[in-house]
Amino acid sequence: MVSVPENIKAIHSYEPGQTVEELQQQYKWDKYAVLWNNENTLGASKLALQSIKKELENSNFYPDPKARILCEKIATKWEVKSDNIVLGNGSEGLLMNIIRAFCRDGDELLTSEGSFVIIYNWARVNNVMCRSVPLRDDYSFDLNGILKSIHRQTKIIYLSNVNNPTGAMISCSELEDFLNKVPKEILVIVDEAYFEFSKHLNPAFPDSSKLKMDNVITIRTFSKAYGIAGNRLGFAIASEKIINTLYKVRLTFEPSNLSQAAGLGALDDNEFLSHTLKNNSRGLHHYYSEFESLGIKYVQSHGNFVMIVLPSPEQAQRVTQELLVKGVLVRHLGGTLSHCIRISVGQPEENQLCTAMLREITTAIS
C-alpha cells in the first residue's frame, strides 16, 4: 500500500456541511440569510460579470501567466510597481505558495490563536511547525507576545489585519513598531483580505504595502468587497525578490483567464464597491444597536462580519443551531473561540432577519 507522510495524515481535510439548497429542503424556510462565510451577499460586480462573459470566448487559450494587464491595473490603483505584484488563486492560494517558497524542514511559522484557521493546514502540508500565541483579553493580537516567542527556527510570522474571525485590528503605530522589531530575516505576512472594508470604517487603518519593507508581504483578495469569491482571485505586494521567488512555485497559469477578467472588471466598478462599503457600515451599526439592546457582548469589527461572545461553547452551539432552524446561517467558531459566533454582514433584510431571530431565542443566550 502506498504510504502517506505523517504530516499529511495529521491534517483534517475540509468537510463542508450541507449546502444551502439541502438545508432549505430540510427546514422549509420561507426566507433565509446566509451569513456564515463573509461573502458579499449583494452579489458580484456587474462589470466583473460582463468582463467574464466577454473572456469566455478565449477559454480555448491559456491565460497570460504573468497577468500583465491586471497587474498593471492593480499597480496603478495601489501606487506600486507591477514587478511588486503576483496573483494567486485567492489569498489562500497565495499563502500556500509563500510557505512552499520560503520554508524548509525545521522552519517554523508563528501566528496568533483565534486567527485564520487555514494557515495551520498549509503549514502542516509543507511540513512546517506552526506555533501560536494567545489573544489578549479584548480578542486582539498580542504583538509583544509574538515578538517574545520568536526564536531561531522562526521563518514566517502571519498576521491577519483585520483579524478573521474576531474583527479586531492592528493600528498603524502598532504595526510599524512591531515590524521594526522583527528580525529582517523573518518574513512577515500581513493578510489584508478585508482591506476595503477596514479603510472605509477607519481611514487611519494601516496599509502595509506602503511600508516598503523587504521582509513584509501584503495579501489582498477580490473575494470580499468585489463579490467574486467564486472566481478565486487574490494578489500579493512585496519586494521584487520575494515576488520573483513566488513565481517559481506557483502554478504556471494561475489564476485562470476568467479570474483575471473578473478582476479587471471589478476594479472599474467603483459604484458597486461604494454600495458594498456603505451597506457594510450600515449593517454593522444595525448589529451593534441590536446586540446592545439584547445584552449580547460583541467585538467591534473592522471587516464585513462581527463576532459575538457568549457565556459558554454550549450556548454558542445552541444559538447557532436554533438560528439555523429559523433560516439564519452563522459560523460557530472553534478552539479558543468556541464560545463565540461570527456573523457576516448581509443585505439589510438579511441582517434584520438575523437580529429578529436572535431576539426570539434570547432564552438560549441568557
pLDDT, position 364: 55
The Cα 99–Cα 124 span in angstroms is: 10
CA distances, 77 to each of 81, 87, 268 (Å): 10, 15, 10
| Residues linked to residue 328 through DSSP beta bridges, in sequence order | 33
Q: What is the pLDDT of residues 299-325, one digit of tens each?
A: 999 999 999 999 999 999 999 999 999
Class of domain 46-269: alpha beta
- Please tell me the CATH superfamily of domain 6-43+271-365, with its number: Aspartate Aminotransferase, domain 1 (3.90.1150.10)
AA identity, residue 83: D
AA identity, residue 27: Y
Residue with cell string 523587504: 214
Cell reading at 211: 511600508
pLDDT in 10s for each residue of the chain, 366 residues: 887 777 777 777 766 678 888 888 888 899 999 999 999 999 999 999 999 999 999 999 999 999 999 999 999 999 999 999 999 999 999 999 999 999 988 899 999 999 988 888 888 888 889 999 999 999 999 999 999 999 999 999 999 999 999 999 999 999 999 999 999 999 999 999 999 999 999 999 999 999 989 999 999 999 999 999 999 999 999 999 999 999 999 999 999 999 999 999 999 999 999 999 999 999 999 999 999 999 999 999 999 999 999 999 999 999 999 999 999 999 999 999 999 999 999 999 999 999 999 999 976 565
In a 10 Å sphere around its CB, with 0-12 CB exposed, 13-18 middle and 19+ buried, how is residue 173 labelled?
exposed
The Cα 257–Cα 98 span in angstroms is: 22
SS3 344: strand
Count of beta carbons in the 10 Å neighbourhood of residue 248: 9
pLDDT, position 363: 64
Cell reading at 292: 446592545
Name the DSSP class of 335: G
The Cα 260–Cα 69 span in angstroms is: 9
Domain ranges in the chain? 6-43+271-365, 46-269
Please name which of 215, 225, 297, 213 lies closest in space to residue 43, comparing C-alpha atoms: 225
pLDDT, position 19: 86
The Cα 141–Cα 143 span in angstroms is: 6
Helices (H) and strands (E) in the chain, counts: 15, 13
pLDDT, position 303: 97
Q: Where are the alpha helices (DSSP H) in the chain?
A: 6-9, 20-27, 46-55, 68-78, 90-102, 118-125, 143-148, 172-181, 195-201, 240-249, 257-268, 270-294, 313-325, 348-360, 362-365
Query: Rg of the chain over CA atoms, in angstroms?
Result: 21
